[in-house]
Chain A
Amino acid sequence: MGNLYHNKTAQWLAYAAFFAVLAIVPMRIDDDFLLNQLATYGVYGMLALSISLCWGFGGILNLGQGIAFGLGAYGMAMTMQMQTQTESNPIPPLMLNNGLDYLPMLWWPFANTGLGIVCAIAVPTLFCAIFGTIMFRARVSGPFFAIMTLAMLSAFYTIILDRQAYTGGVNGITPPSPLQFAGVEVDPYSPLAYWTVFFALMIATVLAKLITQSSFGLVTQAIRDDAERVRFLGYSVAGYETMIYTIAGLIAAVAGCLWVMLVQYVSPAQLDVGFSLSMVIWAAIGGRLSLVGAIVGAFVIQGAQSYLGDTFLSTWLLILGGFFIVIVRFLPNGLASLLEAALGLFATRKPKSSAESNGAEPVPAE
């Protein structure tokens, strides 16, 4: 048999095992902090997943994933803020403090919880669709697209800072109470919040996995490897690129909503260049060609930052940076490729199949 790593059944089994572990956690631990922390990592995992989908499978390096994440987060924060406003007190304090004595139109949809959440997810997705269409039609690709997303991210960051009366400026939006949804209060420390994130992550992962295995996914991977050839074969390269970029944006927008549900806070820092770059780091270290690898990357890096960061106080960034350099230099496909190589040792010798193994789905076990 071939490398178990490329066996589809084995991959699905590994996915199942990974999520089984995550599902057992809240039943086994009785620690609000850990639960909340793991849920936050789950959100970061979704971001890493979206980067893996877009970059690993689509070949589109997106350094501005913070746009979709941040806009989603802002939408959710606005919704939660409006939930705490009452009839007698209809305008959020942040506006009153900035001399606005009416609710700006920008905020109207968020007065309704359902509509607000829909907007929080739809607006960033739509943005990605439009931005993607414009850019990919113009055949912007590779490092150029990466720099463009960086410019766009900086533009959003700047305008959110500047329009303080509408966005809270650098202080951001701090909804004072947890999300109320369908009559239930989603306490950020409760198992309910954890399960919400868990299911979102699982659904996103399964969908992403199905996408990569579909014919659509195969074409995007072909575009990643050689866009010109695919174009000559008659495919609309721009259409495929826009699609995968938009799906990644959708996942990031949902992650943004969940993140605000967990921390009750959003600020322009979520659109900071450094944060978007760290999403790429998670995916790169875990393995951009492996969806679960990328998620694990987020868990490992964030976990290490939380638990080792204080031990190696002043050297932590040094370690992270060095680790990252080593990975990029020697393991371009991340930690997941270690597993691929390890499983490869057990594989019985077999002539390499004509299908390019590069695109097949690698999975690390958990």
Chain B
Amino acid sequence: MDFGSILNALILGVSIASIWLIAALGLTIIYGAAGVINMAHGELIMLGAYSSYMLQYYLGVPYLLCIPASFVIVALVGLILERGLIQYLYNRPLDTLLATYGVSLVLMQGVRLIFGSDPKYLAVPEIFSSNLSLGFLSISTFRVIVLLVTALLVLALWLLFYKTRFGVQVRAVMQNKEMAASFGINSSRVYMLTFALGAGLAGVAGSLFGVLNIVLPTMGASYVVQAFLMVVVGGGSLAGSVVASGVTGEMQSVFAFFTNDTFARFLIFVLIVVFLRFRPQGLFAKAGTRR
């Protein structure tokens, strides 16, 4: 157990945390603001990866431009989804969970019909396929990119929610929809925009995961449960998700360092259940309204 290895494990933990967090960001927004449990979140991530693939393969768009483009495309999908289905289900949280599961089936099979079930890949500039090393420390460039993008998004969201008029409206609707409405806030519009925003964030995550991993119609399924756990542990707030992902990412890396990956996962699932036993409202729950 030399010092360098442990330090590397800790650095990797930060990176794993950023991956968990970016997968959970969109879900946090959607759950936090609208109380919707979006089971199709994994498939929105998958759509992000496929939209990047499509832009790159058919239009030759450079990878770095694919990331914001995926945001826009998936946000549009989210917008359609919200207008077409979710808006009718806001007062039935368990039903949104089920309806969005149906959506996830449709999206997954729809993509398979269009693109086939064989895996695709995203080409990235050569510089991303290397690592940064400093003495005994080492981390891949692309992990740093993911970390930076995640940090930027968190910052942008924080600014959006706490420094803009729209953010005030969202928080007002979150705390009390009726009261907000009586102050002239169009809660339906707020829900619509937050849902689209959350979906767009999933799109960004997808275009990043397509590089780390593989682009497949089924790729989203593996992210949805862990993303949910981050949101629930965090209590549905932005800060909560950041802390929850940070802690679990580090735990995953450190447990895997001492035992193995599979057992590390088991430990994390059990610890999450134990944690929620004592704090069912999550880390930083908004005082009061939504549980």
Are A and B physically bound partners?
A: yes
A residues in contact (CB < 8 Å) with B: 61, 134-135, 138-144, 146-148, 150-152, 154-155, 158-159, 161-162, 273-274, 277, 280-281, 284, 314-318, 320-325, 328-329, 332
Instruction: Give min CB distance, A320 to chain B, whole Å.
Output: 6
B101 to chain A, nearest CB (A): 6
**Known interface pairs A144-B232, A155-B266; A321-B105 also in contact (CB < 8 Å):** yes
Whether A146 pairs with B270 at a CB distance below 8 angstroms is no
**Contact partner of B94 among A146, A318, A324, CB < 8 A?**
A146
Could you tell me if A147 and B109 are in contact, using CB atoms closer than 8 angstroms?
A: no
B229 adjacent to A277 (CB under 8 Å): no
Cβ-defined contact, B109 with A158, below 8 A:
no
CA distance A281 to B272 in the complex (A): 26
18 contacts between A and B (CB under 8 A): A61-B94, A140-B277, A143-B37, A144-B280, A147-B37, A150-B228, A151-B269, A154-B225, A162-B263, A274-B221, A277-B101, A315-B109, A315-B113, A316-B109, A317-B106, A318-B109, A323-B102, A328-B89
- Closest chain B CB from A346 CB (angstroms): 29
- What residues of chain B have their CB less than 8 Å away from a CB belonging to chain A? 37, 85, 88-89, 92-95, 97-99, 101-106, 108-110, 112-113, 221, 225, 228-229, 232, 260, 262-263, 265-266, 269-270, 272-273, 276-278, 280, 291
Would you call B273 and A151 a contact (CB within 8 A)? yes
Q: Which residues of B contact A141 (CB under 8 A)?
A: 291
Chain B residues with Cβ below 8 Å from A158 are 262, 265-266, 269
Distance, CA A273 to CA B280, complexed state (A)? 22
The minimal Cβ–Cβ distance linking B277 to chain A, given in whole angstroms, is 5
Q: A143-B37, A144-B291, A147-B229 are in contact. Are A324 and B105 (CB under 8 A)?
A: yes
Residues from chain A with a CB closer than 8 A to the CB of B85 are 325, 329
* A143-B94 contact given A150-B225, A321-B103, A325-B102, CB 8 Å threshold: yes
B274 CB to closest chain A CB (Å) equals: 9
**Central interface residue in A147, A151, A281, by most chain B CB within 10 Å:** A151
Whether A280 pairs with B98 at a CB distance below 8 angstroms is yes
* B269 nearest in chain A by CB position: A155
Q: Is the CB of A321 within 8 A of B225?
A: no
Q: Give the docked Cα–Cα distance between A109 and B56 (Å).
A: 59
Question: Please, how many angstroms separate the alpha-carbon atoms of A134 and B123 in the complex?
Answer: 49
Given A147-B229, A162-B263; A322-B276 close (CB under 8 Å): no
Are B102 and A324 interface neighbours, CB within 8 A? yes
Tell me if A140 and B280 are in contact (CB < 8 A).
yes
Residue of A whose beta carbon sits closest to that of B276: A148
Contact B98 A328, beta carbon cutoff 8 Å: yes
- B264's nearest neighbour on chain A, judged by CB, is A158
Q: Nearest-CB distance from B175 to chain A (Å)?
A: 19
- Chain B nearest CB from A331 CB (Å) reads 11
User: Within 8 Å CB of B98, what residues of A?
Assistant: 280-281, 284, 324, 328
- By a CB distance below 8 angstroms, the chain A residues around B101 are 277, 281, 324
Complex interface: chain B residues within 8 A of A284 (CB): 98
Cα–Cα, bound, A93→B95 (Å): 45
B273 touches A152 (CB 8 A): yes
Determine the distance from Cα of A96 to Cα of B8 in the docked complex, in whole angstroms. Answer: 38
Asked whether B277 lies within 8 Å of A142 as measured between CB atoms, the reply is no
Assuming the contacts A151-B225, A158-B265, A318-B106, asked whether A61 and B97 have C-beta atoms less than 8 A apart, the reply is yes
Q: With a CB–CB cut-off of 8 A, which chain B residues contact A281?
A: 98, 101
